[in-house]
Chains A and B, each alone.
Chain A
């Protein structure tokens, strides 16, 4: 077994995700099978391989990531706030945050 029920519960807590008892067990079994399959990557020696974090090379993104810092009017703040479940313009309201 690669992943225990406690592991799944811990990870769900890290992801702020409520899972029922039944979900915990279903996902544990399914993810266990997936991790077993993923284990095949260990057949490959990657000691001297640089990890690939993204596709584009520097020369493709250098221009793209550095642009003039210009102010562009947006003007959709009211529309954005309208999408909130509990807006208090100009704020988003959340339950009291004092202790965990």
Chain B
């Protein structure tokens, strides 16, 4: 097996004229056409746009001009992120033929930096799921084990990179939807702090939680993509003015002496023994790199799933009210307006989305608001406080990304609560708004990848990228 593509590898191939950007794009499309029928990672390809961009890059090379940061790098975009002129379905029947009239800021920034957008990747419907089995267009298969899930909801973005069908990709993370598929497919995957990356053009699921972030084959490439898409955007009032460091430079800084918090609450029951073994080896490796482990408590961890599924579903029920058959997407006709709404939404949404709309509407409804939604918001404050307290003592928090490795397709589809419980290690950081990265940490029995998750304080992306990079360079993936 050849080494996976990296951004530097692409730029070298282009500047050394081994391949033109157009040829490279063709190479990727050939591989996609060969592998995608089996993997189902891509929902839509955008060759017209990709080749137009490739020709621009080739013109730069012909003119002897320097390539921009991501010049000629083939990338994939999760199908919940708007792309002008390219069908964007959110993995839902209700948006089957929707063609956005504008680009998400993150997409525009990638393209301005020279990236070539190959197409849109499959995902759980409206990013709701942990296995990618909730897509209306069929599940994605995990490239490392085809009978298993790639994780979700950004399963297509993870699988595309892991299978070599893109050099990097964008996903979205609301409760673990970038980090968990990254872990299950065996590649680095990151969500920056809440407010780090503009969400303009991201089709909303839960607005106080949703974040856009990268997948790539190396931590350095994750850093490069994050750096490109991060930063203030006048079109998203939740994007902050916090300066964006040069992450690709930050990652080279030494990690010796870094204090790493090991929350014992994360190592309680429910973790697969194979995952535990690899994560413990991972912590040993961090110690060898000179990090100082600190035993910490995060006492509200056990309440995170319950809190998350109140807040996320409440926000989803509100955000998804916009799908009413009037302005875009599916419409099922009825002589009355309300009948048209009900039929359109009943026919257009899949089971998980309906379940969450019902639950979310219920927790917000009169008589239940205080008992559920308000209670959830209060416990969320306690979980965020756990993180602030921990970061008084440590630089980075180290946990497993997922309690279990990639599971078999169909194994958990009939039990939504069991599926939700698999998000235990990722939802905490989502609720707190802190940045998190999953980095490969060995493979169980040599096949099923395990992810090590690193959390940093808000806007402390540099620290976790630095540590993830050092871990990767020290052989973390082959523990």
B194 neighbours in A (Cβ, 8 Å) = 55-56
> A44 contacts the other chain (Cβ, under 8 Å)?
yes
Given A56-B195, A64-B241: A100 and B338 interface contact (C-beta under 8 Å): yes
> A71 contacts the other chain (Cβ, under 8 Å)?
no
Given A15-B317, A83-B101: A65 and B237 interface contact (C-beta under 8 Å): yes
A41 neighbours in B (Cβ, 8 Å) = 303, 306-307, 375-376, 379
| Closest chain B residue, CB of each to CB of A63 | B241
Q: Are B325 and A54 touching (Cβ within 8 A)?
A: no
Tally B residues with Cβ within 8 Å of A. Answer: 74
> A14 contacts the other chain (Cβ, under 8 Å)?
yes
CA distance A3 to B362 in the complex (A): 9
Q: Are B362 and A11 touching (Cβ within 8 A)?
A: yes
Given A34-B359, A50-B378, A63-B241: A85 and B309 interface contact (C-beta under 8 Å): no
Interface stretch, picked from B3-11, B113-121, B244-252, B329-337, is B329-337
> B179 contacts the other chain (Cβ, under 8 Å)?
no
Q: Separation in Å of the A16 CB from the closest CB of chain B?
A: 4
Contacting residue for B382 out of A34, A46, A94, CB 8 A: A46
Contacting residue for B239 out of A8, A42, A64, CB 8 A: A64
Contacting residue for B232 out of A64, A79, A83, A92, CB 8 A: A64
Q: Separation in Å of the A10 CB from the closest CB of chain B?
A: 8
- Contacts across chains A and B counted by CB atoms under 8 Å: 171
Mask: chain A, 84-100; 1 = CB below 8 Å from B; 0 = not = 11100000101111001
Q: Separation in Å of the A97 CB from the closest CB of chain B?
A: 5
Contacting residue for B346 out of A18, A30, A61, CB 8 A: A18
A51 neighbours in B (Cβ, 8 Å) = 374, 377-378, 380-381
Q: Separation in Å of the B207 CB from the closest CB of chain A?
A: 9
CA distance A96 to B339 in the complex (A): 11
Q: Are B331 and A34 touching (Cβ within 8 A)?
A: no
Q: Are A92 and B327 touching (Cβ within 8 A)?
A: yes
Mask: chain A, 17-57; 1 = CB below 8 Å from B; 0 = not = 11100010011001101110111111110100111111110
A92 neighbours in B (Cβ, 8 Å) = 326-327
> B221 contacts the other chain (Cβ, under 8 Å)?
no
> A80 contacts the other chain (Cβ, under 8 Å)?
yes
B321 neighbours in A (Cβ, 8 Å) = 15
CA distance A95 to B420 in the complex (A): 39
| Closest chain B residue, CB of each to CB of A48 | B378
The list of the 8 closest CB pairs from A to B, nearest first, reads A18-B346, A55-B433, A51-B377, A85-B331, A79-B101, A52-B381, A46-B378, A16-B341
Q: Are A12 and B358 touching (Cβ within 8 A)?
A: yes
Task: List 20 contacting pairs A-B, 8 Å CB cutoff, sorted by A.
Answer: A15-B321, A16-B341, A17-B346, A17-B357, A18-B342, A19-B354, A23-B354, A35-B372, A39-B306, A40-B302, A51-B380, A51-B381, A55-B208, A61-B237, A64-B240, A67-B234, A76-B102, A84-B328, A85-B329, A100-B336
Q: Are A94 and B326 touching (Cβ within 8 A)?
A: yes
Q: Are B345 and A80 touching (Cβ within 8 A)?
A: no
Q: Are B382 and A49 touching (Cβ within 8 A)?
A: yes
A30 neighbours in B (Cβ, 8 Å) = 355, 416-417
Q: Are A84 and B101 touching (Cβ within 8 A)?
A: no
Residues of B at under 8 Å CB distance from A?
98-99, 101-102, 194-195, 208, 232, 234, 237-242, 300, 302-303, 305-307, 309-310, 317, 321, 324-331, 333-343, 345-347, 349, 351, 354-355, 357-359, 361-362, 365, 372, 374-382, 384, 416-417, 420, 432-433, 458
Q: Are B240 and A56 touching (Cβ within 8 A)?
A: yes
| Closest chain B residue, CB of each to CB of A93 | B326
Q: Are B240 and A95 touching (Cβ within 8 A)?
A: no
B361 neighbours in A (Cβ, 8 Å) = 11-12, 14-15
CA distance A83 to B323 in the complex (A): 13
Q: Are A38 and B337 touching (Cβ within 8 A)?
A: no
Contacting residue for B208 out of A7, A54, A63, CB 8 A: A54
CA distance A17 to B325 in the complex (A): 12
B238 neighbours in A (Cβ, 8 Å) = 56, 61, 64
Q: Separation in Å of the B213 CB from the closest CB of chain A?
A: 15
A46 neighbours in B (Cβ, 8 Å) = 375, 378-379, 382
Q: Separation in Å of the B221 CB from the closest CB of chain A?
A: 27
CA distance A44 to B417 in the complex (A): 21
CA distance A46 to B370 in the complex (A): 12
Q: Separation in Å of the A90 CB from the closest CB of chain B?
A: 13
CA distance A94 to B234 in the complex (A): 33
Q: Separation in Å of the A96 CB from the closest CB of chain B?
A: 7
Q: Separation in Å of the A46 CB from the closest CB of chain B?
A: 4
Q: Separation in Å of the B310 CB from the closest CB of chain A?
A: 6
Contacting residue for A34 out of B101, B309, B346, CB 8 A: B309
Contacting residue for B355 out of A27, A49, A53, CB 8 A: A27
